[in-house]
Protein backbone atom coordinates (compact mmCIF):
# COMPACT_ATOMS: atom_id res chain seq x y z
CA UNK A 1 0.00 0.00 0.00
CA UNK A 2 2.81 2.43 0.85
CA UNK A 3 5.46 0.99 -1.47
CA UNK A 4 6.00 4.32 -3.24
CA UNK A 5 7.71 5.82 -0.17
CA UNK A 6 11.45 5.48 0.56
CA UNK A 7 10.78 4.41 4.13
CA UNK A 8 8.99 1.25 2.89
CA UNK A 9 12.39 -0.05 1.79
CA UNK A 10 13.36 -0.23 5.45
CA UNK A 11 10.38 -2.18 6.78
CA UNK A 12 12.12 -5.57 6.57
CA UNK A 13 15.00 -4.22 8.67
CA UNK A 14 12.54 -2.71 11.12
CA UNK A 15 10.86 -6.08 11.74
CA UNK A 16 14.27 -7.77 11.93
CA UNK A 17 15.36 -5.26 14.60
CA UNK A 18 12.11 -5.88 16.52
CA UNK A 19 12.72 -9.67 16.48
CA UNK A 20 16.28 -9.18 17.78
CA UNK A 21 15.01 -6.95 20.60
CA UNK A 22 12.47 -9.61 21.63
CA UNK A 23 15.03 -12.40 21.35
CA UNK A 24 17.48 -10.56 23.60
CA UNK A 25 14.81 -9.77 26.23
CA UNK A 26 16.00 -12.22 28.91
CA UNK A 27 19.73 -11.81 28.35
CA UNK A 28 20.17 -8.13 27.39
CA UNK A 29 22.94 -6.38 29.30
CA UNK A 30 21.99 -3.02 30.76
CA UNK A 31 24.28 -0.07 31.36
CA UNK A 32 23.81 3.58 32.32
CA UNK A 33 24.42 6.66 30.14
CA UNK A 34 23.98 10.22 31.49
CA UNK A 35 22.72 9.00 34.91
CA UNK A 36 21.79 5.76 36.69
CA UNK A 37 18.22 6.05 35.38
CA UNK A 38 19.24 6.70 31.75
CA UNK A 39 19.77 3.22 30.33
CA UNK A 40 21.09 1.54 27.22
CA UNK A 41 20.99 -2.20 26.56
CA UNK A 42 22.69 -4.54 24.14
CA UNK A 43 19.30 -4.70 22.39
CA UNK A 44 19.31 -0.93 21.69
CA UNK A 45 22.74 -1.35 20.08
CA UNK A 46 21.84 -4.45 18.05
CA UNK A 47 18.66 -2.82 16.73
CA UNK A 48 20.60 0.31 15.81
CA UNK A 49 23.24 -1.72 13.96
CA UNK A 50 20.57 -3.47 11.85
CA UNK A 51 18.83 -0.21 10.94
CA UNK A 52 21.97 1.80 10.19
CA UNK A 53 23.45 -0.98 8.04
CA UNK A 54 20.27 -1.16 5.98
CA UNK A 55 20.01 2.62 5.49
CA UNK A 56 23.66 2.85 4.49
CA UNK A 57 23.18 0.05 1.98
CA UNK A 58 20.08 1.53 0.30
CA UNK A 59 20.70 5.27 0.76
CA UNK A 60 24.51 5.60 1.11
CA UNK A 61 24.56 9.41 0.82
CA UNK A 62 21.80 10.14 3.33
CA UNK A 63 22.51 11.44 6.82
CA UNK A 64 21.66 9.36 9.90
CA UNK A 65 20.96 10.63 13.40
CA UNK A 66 20.47 7.82 15.85
CA UNK A 67 20.11 7.79 19.63
CA UNK A 68 23.15 5.68 20.43
CA UNK A 69 25.62 6.81 17.71
CA UNK A 70 27.50 9.77 16.30
CA UNK A 71 25.75 11.43 13.32
CA UNK A 72 26.59 10.08 9.84
CA UNK A 73 26.81 12.26 6.64
CA UNK A 74 25.93 15.35 8.70
CA UNK A 75 25.66 17.69 5.71
CA UNK A 76 23.12 15.73 3.72
CA UNK A 77 19.75 17.48 3.25
CA UNK A 78 18.06 14.07 3.65
CA UNK A 79 18.40 12.63 7.14
CA UNK A 80 17.10 9.49 8.79
CA UNK A 81 16.30 10.00 12.47
CA UNK A 82 16.21 6.71 14.35
CA UNK A 83 15.25 5.56 17.81
CA UNK A 84 16.28 1.89 17.76
CA UNK A 85 14.51 1.17 21.07
CA UNK A 86 12.23 3.74 22.65
CA UNK A 87 11.20 2.72 26.14
CA UNK A 88 14.49 1.28 27.32
CA UNK A 89 13.43 1.56 30.97
CA UNK A 90 10.24 -0.38 30.14
CA UNK A 91 12.28 -2.98 28.26
CA UNK A 92 14.80 -3.41 31.05
CA UNK A 93 11.91 -4.01 33.46
CA UNK A 94 9.85 -6.39 31.28
CA UNK A 95 7.13 -3.79 30.64
CA UNK A 96 5.85 -4.43 27.09
CA UNK A 97 5.59 -0.80 25.95
CA UNK A 98 8.50 -0.47 23.56
CA UNK A 99 8.82 0.99 20.06
CA UNK A 100 11.22 1.57 17.21
CA UNK A 101 10.98 4.85 15.28
CA UNK A 102 12.35 5.67 11.84
CA UNK A 103 11.78 9.11 10.35
CA UNK A 104 12.92 10.71 7.10
CA UNK A 105 13.60 14.46 7.30
CA UNK A 106 14.20 16.43 4.09
CA UNK A 107 15.45 20.03 4.29
CA UNK A 108 14.57 19.97 8.01
CA UNK A 109 10.95 18.88 7.32
CA UNK A 110 9.74 15.50 8.66
CA UNK A 111 8.14 13.74 5.68
CA UNK A 112 7.86 9.98 6.29
CA UNK A 113 7.67 8.18 9.64
CA UNK A 114 7.12 4.70 11.03
CA UNK A 115 6.67 3.77 14.69
CA UNK A 116 6.54 0.03 15.35
CA UNK A 117 4.96 -1.14 18.62
CA UNK A 118 7.12 -4.22 18.88
CA UNK A 119 5.16 -6.25 21.44
CA UNK A 120 1.65 -5.57 20.16
CA UNK A 121 2.90 -5.70 16.59
CA UNK A 122 1.11 -2.53 15.47
CA UNK A 123 2.71 -0.35 12.83
CA UNK A 124 1.95 3.39 12.78
CA UNK A 125 2.84 5.31 9.62
CA UNK A 126 2.68 8.98 8.70
CA UNK A 127 3.37 10.61 5.31
CA UNK A 128 3.40 14.38 4.95
CA UNK A 129 0.37 15.33 2.87
CA UNK A 130 -0.82 11.71 2.55
CA UNK A 131 -2.23 10.91 6.01
CA UNK A 132 -1.53 8.59 8.93
CA UNK A 133 -2.28 4.91 9.32
CA UNK A 134 -2.26 2.07 11.84
CA UNK A 135 -1.75 -1.37 10.34
CA UNK A 136 -2.67 0.11 6.95
CA UNK A 137 -5.95 1.71 8.06
CA UNK A 138 -6.51 5.45 8.43
CA UNK A 139 -6.09 6.56 12.06
CA UNK A 140 -9.19 7.96 13.79
CA UNK A 141 -8.28 10.53 16.41
CA UNK A 142 -10.39 11.22 19.54
CA UNK A 143 -13.19 13.76 19.25
CA UNK A 144 -13.12 14.77 22.92
CA UNK A 145 -13.73 18.50 23.32
CA UNK A 146 -13.63 18.92 27.11
CA UNK A 147 -10.23 19.36 28.71
CA UNK A 148 -11.57 18.23 32.08
CA UNK A 149 -12.34 14.80 30.58
CA UNK A 150 -9.11 14.49 28.58
CA UNK A 151 -6.63 11.69 29.34
CA UNK A 152 -3.15 13.16 29.22
CA UNK A 153 0.08 11.19 28.80
CA UNK A 154 3.41 12.60 29.91
CA UNK A 155 6.94 11.61 30.79
CA UNK A 156 9.91 13.04 32.68
CA UNK A 157 13.47 13.59 31.51
CA UNK A 158 16.38 11.86 33.21
CA UNK A 159 17.37 14.99 35.19
CA UNK A 160 14.15 14.48 37.19
CA UNK A 161 16.32 12.80 39.82
CA UNK A 162 18.16 16.10 40.48
CA UNK A 163 15.54 18.64 39.44
CA UNK A 164 12.21 16.99 40.26
CA UNK A 165 10.65 20.20 41.69
CA UNK A 166 10.82 22.11 38.42
CA UNK A 167 8.42 19.66 36.75
CA UNK A 168 5.75 19.81 39.48
CA UNK A 169 3.77 23.02 38.70
CA UNK A 170 2.87 21.86 35.16
CA UNK A 171 2.12 18.34 36.37
CA UNK A 172 -0.11 19.61 39.20
CA UNK A 173 -2.02 21.89 36.81
CA UNK A 174 -2.76 19.04 34.43
CA UNK A 175 -3.71 16.79 37.38
CA UNK A 176 -6.30 19.37 38.48
CA UNK A 177 -7.63 20.16 35.00
CA UNK A 178 -7.84 16.82 33.16
CA UNK A 179 -9.68 13.52 33.25
CA UNK A 180 -6.45 11.76 34.29
CA UNK A 181 -2.74 11.44 33.70
CA UNK A 182 -0.87 8.36 32.43
CA UNK A 183 2.91 7.89 32.38
CA UNK A 184 3.58 4.83 30.22
CA UNK A 185 6.60 5.66 28.02
CA UNK A 186 7.65 5.08 25.30
CA UNK A 187 7.11 8.69 24.28
CA UNK A 188 6.69 7.65 20.62
CA UNK A 189 3.82 5.32 21.54
CA UNK A 190 2.31 7.95 23.86
CA UNK A 191 2.02 10.33 20.90
CA UNK A 192 0.82 7.59 18.50
CA UNK A 193 -1.86 6.76 21.09
CA UNK A 194 -3.15 10.33 20.84
CA UNK A 195 -3.48 9.72 17.08
CA UNK A 196 -5.12 6.36 17.87
CA UNK A 197 -8.00 7.63 20.06
CA UNK A 198 -6.54 6.34 23.35
CA UNK A 199 -4.97 9.43 24.91
CA UNK A 200 -6.27 12.94 24.16
CA UNK A 201 -3.08 14.87 24.83
CA UNK A 202 0.61 14.57 25.72
CA UNK A 203 3.34 16.91 26.95
CA UNK A 204 6.95 16.37 27.92
CA UNK A 205 9.96 18.60 28.59
CA UNK A 206 13.37 17.92 27.04
CA UNK A 207 12.28 14.89 25.08
CA UNK A 208 14.75 14.01 22.33
CA UNK A 209 13.94 14.36 18.60
CA UNK A 210 14.47 10.64 17.92
CA UNK A 211 11.86 9.84 20.60
CA UNK A 212 9.21 12.20 19.34
CA UNK A 213 9.55 13.70 15.84
CA UNK A 214 8.36 10.63 13.91
CA UNK A 215 5.29 10.19 16.12
CA UNK A 216 4.65 13.96 15.85
CA UNK A 217 4.37 13.66 12.06
CA UNK A 218 1.97 10.72 12.49
CA UNK A 219 -0.21 12.68 14.93
CA UNK A 220 -0.19 15.79 12.74
CA UNK A 221 -1.25 13.74 9.72
CA UNK A 222 -3.98 12.05 11.79
CA UNK A 223 -5.54 15.48 12.42
CA UNK A 224 -3.92 16.27 15.76
CA UNK A 225 -1.88 19.28 16.79
CA UNK A 226 1.78 19.19 17.83
CA UNK A 227 3.74 22.24 18.92
CA UNK A 228 6.92 23.01 20.80
CA UNK A 229 7.86 25.83 23.19
CA UNK A 230 7.91 28.29 20.24
CA UNK A 231 4.32 27.26 19.33
CA UNK A 232 5.50 25.81 16.02
CA UNK A 233 5.67 22.22 14.75
CA UNK A 234 8.61 20.54 16.56
CA UNK A 235 12.12 20.50 15.12
CA UNK A 236 15.39 18.78 16.02
CA UNK A 237 15.97 21.63 18.53
CA UNK A 238 12.63 21.55 20.41
CA UNK A 239 12.72 21.46 24.21
CA UNK A 240 9.03 20.96 24.99
CA UNK A 241 6.35 19.02 23.13
CA UNK A 242 2.66 19.83 23.50
CA UNK A 243 0.46 17.45 21.51
CA UNK A 244 -3.27 16.84 21.39
CA UNK A 245 -6.28 15.70 19.41
CA UNK A 246 -6.59 19.38 18.27
CA UNK A 247 -10.16 19.97 19.68
CA UNK A 248 -8.71 20.66 23.15
CA UNK A 249 -5.41 22.07 21.91
CA UNK A 250 -5.85 25.75 22.75
CA UNK A 251 -6.88 25.09 26.35
CA UNK A 252 -4.28 22.36 26.86
CA UNK A 253 -1.46 24.46 25.43
CA UNK A 254 -2.35 27.40 27.66
CA UNK A 255 -2.43 25.18 30.75
CA UNK A 256 1.06 23.87 29.95
CA UNK A 257 2.68 27.14 28.85
CA UNK A 258 1.19 29.22 31.68
CA UNK A 259 2.27 26.83 34.41
CA UNK A 260 5.98 26.26 33.85
CA UNK A 261 8.23 26.78 36.87
CA UNK A 262 10.59 29.75 36.83
CA UNK A 263 13.65 27.44 36.88
CA UNK A 264 12.40 25.59 33.84
CA UNK A 265 11.50 28.79 31.97
CA UNK A 266 15.11 29.96 32.09
CA UNK A 267 16.17 26.67 30.47
CA UNK A 268 13.45 26.77 27.81
CA UNK A 269 13.26 30.34 26.56
Enumerate residues 190-209 that contact ligand LIP by CB under 6 A: 204, 207-208
Please, what is the minimum distance in Å from the beta carbon of residue 106 to ligand LIP?
Answer: 24
In angstroms, what is the minimal distance from the CB of 146 to ligand LIP? 26
Q: What's 67's DSSP letter?
A: T
The answer to whether 110 contacts ligand LIP (rule: CB under 6 A) is no
Return the exposure string of 116-128: e unless at least 16 CB atoms fall within 10 Å of the residue's CB, then b: bbbbeeebbbbbe
Closest CB 170 distance from ligand LIP, rounded Å: 14
181 binds ligand LIP (CB under 6 A): no
Question: Residue 39 or 217: which CB sits closer to ligand LIP?
Answer: 39
Contacts of 23 (CB under 8 A, 6+ apart): none
CA distance 137 to 69: 33
The three-state secondary structure class of 8 is helix
Contact letters (x/-) for ligand LIP, 68-97, by CB under 6 A?
------------------xxxx--------
- If the CB atoms of residues 88 and 246 are measured against ligand LIP, the closer one turns out to be 88
Query: What sign does the dihedral 196-199-203-206 (CA atoms) show?
Result: negative
By beta-carbon proximity to ligand LIP, the closer residue of 10 and 39 is 39
Q: Find the shortest distance in angstroms from Cβ 1 to ligand LIP.
A: 28
Helix, strand or coil, per DSSP, at residue 86: strand
User: Binding segment for ligand LIP among 8-16, 101-109, 155-163, 239-247 (CB under 6 A)?
Assistant: 155-163
Using CB under 6 A as the binding rule, whether residue 157 contacts ligand LIP is answered as: yes
Instruction: Closer to ligand LIP by CB, 229 or 247: give it.
Output: 229
Query: Does residue 187 bind ligand LIP (CB under 6 A)?
Result: yes
Q: How far apart, in whole angstroms, are the C-alpha atoms of residue 22 and residue 25?
A: 5
Instruction: Give 59 or 202: the residue with its C-beta nearer to ligand LIP.
Output: 202
The CB density around residue 253, as the number of other CB atoms within 10 Å, is: 18
Reduce the DSSP state of residue 53 to 3 states and report it.
helix
Q: What are phi and psi of 248, to 5 degrees?
A: -100, 10
Cα(66)–Cα(112) distance, integer angstroms? 16
How far apart are CB 156 and ligand LIP at their closest, in Å? 6
Q: How many CB atoms lie within 10 A of CB 62?
A: 19
**Distance of alpha carbon 109 from alpha carbon 77, whole angstroms:** 10
Residue 185 touching ligand LIP (CB under 6 A)? yes
- State the residues that interact with ligand LIP by CB under 6 A: 86-89, 155-157, 185-187, 204, 207-208, 211
Amino acid sequence: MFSQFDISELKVALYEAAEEIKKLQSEAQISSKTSVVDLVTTADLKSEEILINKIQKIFPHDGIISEESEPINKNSNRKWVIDPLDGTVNYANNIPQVAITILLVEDSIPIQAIVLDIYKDHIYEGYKGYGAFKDGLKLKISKKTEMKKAIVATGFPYDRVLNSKQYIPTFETILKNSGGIRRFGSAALDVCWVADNKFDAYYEFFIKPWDILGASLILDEAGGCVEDETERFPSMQSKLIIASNSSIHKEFKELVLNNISQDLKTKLF
